[in-house]
Structure 1
Amino acid sequence: MRRTRLLAPLLAAALLLTGCTEAGPQAGVADPGYIPGTDGGTVSQFKDPDTAPVVFSGKTTDGSAFASKQYAGKVLVVNFWYAGCPPCRAEAATLNSLSERYAKQGVQFVGVNVSDDAPTAAAFERTYKTPYPSIVDQEGGAAVQLAFTASKPPKAVPSTLVLDGDGRVVARIIGLANKSVLNTLIEDAVDGTAR
């Protein structure tokens, strides 16, 4: 019994340090674009992605429709999150700042809430002053999460993926997004799309 009480805080600390990720078998696989994240996130960059474009759509927290096809030719940054996830709250300011920084260059950010209902997700957006929409994926049968199964482990939250103008995943951060690292990944995607 005493051993269980001692292990519980250690397990909780380990979970906090790794984010809210239940990474699965893909997470430990190193790839040529692996860059160790400074905030504990795993960063991968794919200079020549051979994956098919990811096409997705869903309803946002206010009931509006969001479709990735609307942003063809533009860089899209997709962040998977939920309100009760401490690293998701910690990275909100980073995502907000970069969203505002790149808005003039046509980069679109979109959140994908993986477990909350629309009112809970909307409350998070109000609290953290999120300037971009979030799709409530749980209510729609997790269709957006299914669209990204080739690009990220199924339960890896938070995760942030950068899509090029063709809709292909060119970079991903599994875990807490570091502002400097994500900024570089977005810059590279914008430069690649401009060519």
Structure 2
Amino acid sequence: MSEQYRAGSNKGYIAGDGSISEIPPGERGEPVSFSGISDTGEPVSSADYAESVLVVNFWYAACAPCRVEAPDLEESYQAHRDDGVHFLGVNIRDQAATAREFAESYGVTYPSIADTEGSVKLSFAGEMAANAVPTTLVLDRDGRVAARILGRVMDVSILNALIDGLLEEKK
């Protein structure tokens, strides 16, 4: 990743390679606690997702891979929402109006937190950091990071399989 920065391409982000990391249940860290304000002005916190599988996607509007993966994330959200799975975007750069415009343009119906100060991103730093944009983290029902896709979700079936695996885990 440092090579990307030193290359001086000025693309404005460090791209992930699409690598997937999974953490077995017995090796997962502590539950992640976070809070923020959604792009619609509502307070959001990790407590809102207690006992649910949660997919957290770090993104911003000008990020090209974020735009490419948005329809796939929405497809996965729609496929799993009736199973009690939640999705939450974490917008690391944009103001709320820009995030709402992005959601409208790309058909994203799940909420996003505005995290321009980085407090939500920092909440995940000790467990499995979002070292690239986009990064997608999948949390188990205990609020622990169970999987990370570093970079764009290249194949929605992989994200769906990660979610399905967590849904099958016993509480």
Change over 3 Å in CA distance of 1:145–1:65 after alignment to 2: same
Q: Which of 29, 41, 44 is residue 51 of structure 1 equivalent to? A: 29
* Pairwise CA distance, 1:84: 0.5
* Pair 160,154 (structure 1): closer, same or farther in 2 beyond 3 Å: closer
Is residue 2:161 matched to residue 1:168? no
In the aligned structure 2, how far is the partner of 1:183 from the partner of 1:22?
22
What is the RMSD of the two structures over their aligned residues, measured on CA atoms?
A: 2.1
Residues 1-195 of structure 1 aligned to structure 2 (within 5 Å): 20-21=13-14, 40-48=17-25, 49-138=27-116, 141-153=117-129, 155-177=131-153, 178-192=155-169, 194-195=170-171
Using the alignment, how far apart are the partners of 2:156 and 2:130 within structure 1? 24
Task: Check the 8 A contact 1:20/1:86 in 2, yes or no.
Answer: no
Higher Rg of the two aligned structures: 1
Paired letter, 2:114: V
8 A Cα contact 2:13 2:63, kept in partner: yes
Total equivalences in the alignment: 163
- Spell out, residue by residue over 1:129-160, the C-alpha distance to the aligned partner (whole angstroms, 9 max, x if none): 1110000011xx22101101123445411000
The separation in 1 between residues aligned to 2:133 and 2:15, in whole angstroms, is 8
* Contact 2:59–2:134, Cα closer than 8 Å, also in 1: yes
Q: Deviation at 1:89?
A: 0.4
- Unpaired segments of 5 or more residues in structure 1? 1-9, 24-39
If the length of structure 1 is used for normalisation, what is the TM-score?
0.77
Contact kept, 8 Å, 2:50 with 2:141, in 1: the verdict is yes
CA positional deviation for 1:88 = 0.3
The offset of 1:70, in angstroms, is 1.6
* SS of residue in 2 equivalent to 1:127: helix
Deviation of the 1:90 alpha carbon? 0.4
Q: TM-score, normalised by structure 2?
A: 0.88
Corresponding residue SS for 1:115: coil
CA 1:143–1:11: 2 relative to 1, 3 Å: closer
Find the aligned partners of 2:42 and 2:102 in 1 and give their Cα distance: 17
Q: Do the aligned residues in 1 keep the contact of 2:59 with 2:66 (CA within 8 Å)?
A: yes
Q: Which amino acid aligns with 1:164?
A: D
Identity %: 42
